[in-house]
């Protein structure tokens, strides 16, 4: 992120307490405040219907807030129409003109603005070069693959040199392999051109791969904003911990508590040390969240093993790079463990069979308390 502290970075787009209520009474966006910095790759991530698209459309100017304000480059947008905002939008159904060549599709907006011919030619070539479509100028959309068509749509937006590019699930129509390639390309492109990207997706892996920061949304609200690592390693709520990656949610009772840590008894029998960012009270019911890949599994008979919990393997799911184990630690509690299959590891990366008694451990700071 350019090494600058967020405070010093200019803000390109700001939402101040923005709410959108549609005529049918649906509250699509509920008191959302966000600051998006210049040159940032910022994603809005959340399940279908959580208000991502509506948020993006209010930044673009296709919708207007029922309350609150959208600011672009520090100016209140009010009812400023889309074409007067220094932003461009790329949609999922990229809607190229089928009867126009690639060149003409990309040049269209510039011609409307009556920009001189040779400048248009230069800028179109530059934009097509950026999206790696040089040499395709004379093709028609039907002569391109889905990924290439999507790149034409990107070039068409980039050629206007907007300050901010808004992208609404732009890779949604592509198959998985192409989608993954395009994710890396888009990220690379964004770093090259230095334009601020605001990117809507419901795909958590996509958001983690591409973003400088992510806003996780649910039911019209922003639940957490942070870097991919912050969101993944320190989810602030059960929703975020569940939506991004996978988590074990273990119910427990606080046995002892200080301001920085607590001892929580899981499944009525296993006391576990967990960092706490707020004061908890003895006897309080909490949920301890721990990611499957943070749990280490050791055969119970191994000498010197001192696990946090003990149980028995109930299920083994081999997925090539890793194996998932489901370990039953009490009548009503199982824990999922993701273990890397690597024969070069000291423990041999063993595949343990169903029924094996095992100990489970994890680093103290790998677990989070969610109340």
CB of 25 to ligand ATP, least distance (A): 9
CB of 205 to ligand ATP, least distance (A): 16
* 209/228 Cα distance (integer angstroms): 8
Residue 287: name the closest of 226, 359, 237, 230 by CA.
Answer: 237
Q: Answer yes or no whether residue 93 interacts with ligand ATP by CB under 6 A.
A: no
Which helix (H) or strand (E) segment holds residue 126: the answer is: helix 117-130
CB of 24 or CB of 306, closer to ligand ATP: 24
CB of 221 or CB of 310, closer to ligand ATP: 221
Chosen residue from 18, 32, 45, 50 binding ligand ATP by CB under 6 A: 50
Stretch that binds ligand ATP, among 49-57, 98-106, 237-245, 351-359 (CB under 6 A): 49-57
Q: Answer yes or no whether residue 49 interacts with ligand ATP by CB under 6 A.
A: yes
CB of 53 or CB of 248, closer to ligand ATP: 53
The conformation of residue 239, written as its DSSP 8-state character, comes to H
Whether 271 and 338 have beta carbons less than 8 Å apart is answered as no
Beta sheet of 367-370, edge-to-edge order: 270-275, 261-266, 248-257, 285-290, 367-370
CB of 44 or CB of 257, closer to ligand ATP: 44
CB of 150 or CB of 339, closer to ligand ATP: 150
Q: Any alpha helices (H) in 131-203, and if so which ranges?
A: 146-158, 176-193
Chosen residue from 5, 7, 48, 306 binding ligand ATP by CB under 6 A: 48
CB of 164 to ligand ATP, least distance (A): 18
CB of 21 or CB of 100, closer to ligand ATP: 21
| Residue environment code for 356-369, b if the CB has 16+ CB neighbours within 10 A, otherwise e | bebbbbbeeebbbb
Q: Answer yes or no whether residue 52 interacts with ligand ATP by CB under 6 A.
A: yes
* 10/56 Cα distance (integer angstroms): 20
CB of 199 to ligand ATP, least distance (A): 12
CB of 220 to ligand ATP, least distance (A): 7
Stretch that binds ligand ATP, among 48-56, 253-261, 312-320, 328-336 (CB under 6 A): 48-56
Stretch that binds ligand ATP, among 51-59, 231-239, 256-264, 297-305 (CB under 6 A): 51-59
Question: Restricting to residues 15-44, which ones interact with ligand ATP according to CB under 6 A?
Answer: 22, 24, 26, 28
Residue 366: name the closest of 284, 245, 239 by CA.
Answer: 245
Residue 272: name the closest of 316, 350, 333, 357 by CA.
Answer: 333
Q: Answer yes or no whether residue 54 interacts with ligand ATP by CB under 6 A.
A: yes
Task: Give the interface size with ligand ATP as a residue count (CB under 6 A).
Answer: 13
CB of 22 to ligand ATP, least distance (A): 3
Question: Restricting to residues 184-243, which ones interact with ligand ATP according to CB under 6 A?
Answer: 202
Q: Which residue has the tokens 């790329």?
A: 90
Collect all residues with Cβ–Cβ distance below 8 Å to 369 and sequence separation of at least 6: 262, 264, 274, 275, 276, 277, 280, 286, 287, 288, 289
* Cβ atoms < 10 Å from Cβ of 2: 12
Q: Answer yes or no whether residue 245 interacts with ligand ATP by CB under 6 A.
A: no
The dihedral over CA atoms of 203, 295, 289, 282, expressed in degrees to the nearest 10, equals -170
Whether 173 and 151 have beta carbons less than 8 Å apart is answered as no
Q: Which positions touch ligand ATP (CB under 6 A)?
A: 22, 24, 26, 28, 46, 48-54, 202
């Amino acid at each position: 992120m350019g090494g600058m502290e967020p405070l010093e970075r200019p803000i390109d787009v700001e939402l101040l307490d923005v709410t959108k209520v549609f005529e049918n009474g649906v509250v699509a966006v509920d008191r959302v405040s966000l600051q998006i910095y210049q040159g940032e790759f910022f994603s809005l991530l959340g399940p279908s219907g959580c208000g991502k698209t509506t948020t993006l459309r209010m930044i673009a100017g296709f919708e207007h807030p029922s309350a609150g304000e959208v600011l672009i480059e520090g100016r209140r947008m009010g009812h400023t129409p889309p074409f007067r905002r220094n932003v461009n939008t790329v949609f999922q159904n990229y809607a190229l003109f089928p009867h126009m060549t690639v060149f003409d599709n990309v040049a269209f907006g510039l011609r409307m603005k009556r920009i001189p011919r040779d400048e248009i030619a230069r800028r179109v070539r530059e934009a097509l070069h950026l999206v790696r479509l040089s040499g395709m100028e004379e093709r028609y959309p039907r002569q391109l693959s889905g990924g290439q068509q999507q790149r034409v749509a990107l070039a068409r937006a980039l050629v206007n040199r907007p300050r901010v590019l808004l992208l609404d699930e732009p890779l949604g129509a592509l198959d998985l392999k192409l989608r993954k390639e395009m994710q890396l390309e888009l990220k690379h492109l964004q770093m090259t051109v230095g334009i601020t990207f605001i990117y809507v997706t419901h795909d958590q892996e996509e958001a983690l791969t591409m973003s400088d920061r992510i806003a996780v949304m649910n039911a019209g609200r922003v639940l957490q904003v942070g870097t991919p690592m912050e969101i993944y390693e320190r989810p602030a709520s059960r929703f975020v911990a569940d939506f991004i990656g996978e988590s074990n949610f273990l119910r427990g009772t606080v046995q002892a508590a200080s301001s920085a840590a607590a001892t929580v008894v899981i499944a009525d029998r296993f006391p576990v040390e967990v960092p706490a960012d707020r004061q908890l009270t003895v006897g309080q019911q909490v949920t301890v969240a721990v990611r499957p890949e943070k749990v280490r599994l050791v055969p119970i008979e191994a000498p010197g093993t001192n696990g946090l919990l003990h149980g028995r393997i109930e299920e083994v799911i081999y997925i090539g790079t890793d194996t998932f184990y489901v370990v039953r630690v009490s009548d009503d509690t199982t824990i999922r463990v993701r273990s890397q299959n690597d024969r070069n590891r000291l423990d041999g990366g063993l595949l343990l069979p169903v029924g094996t008694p095992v100990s489970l451990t994890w680093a103290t700071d790998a677990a989070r308390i969610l109340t």
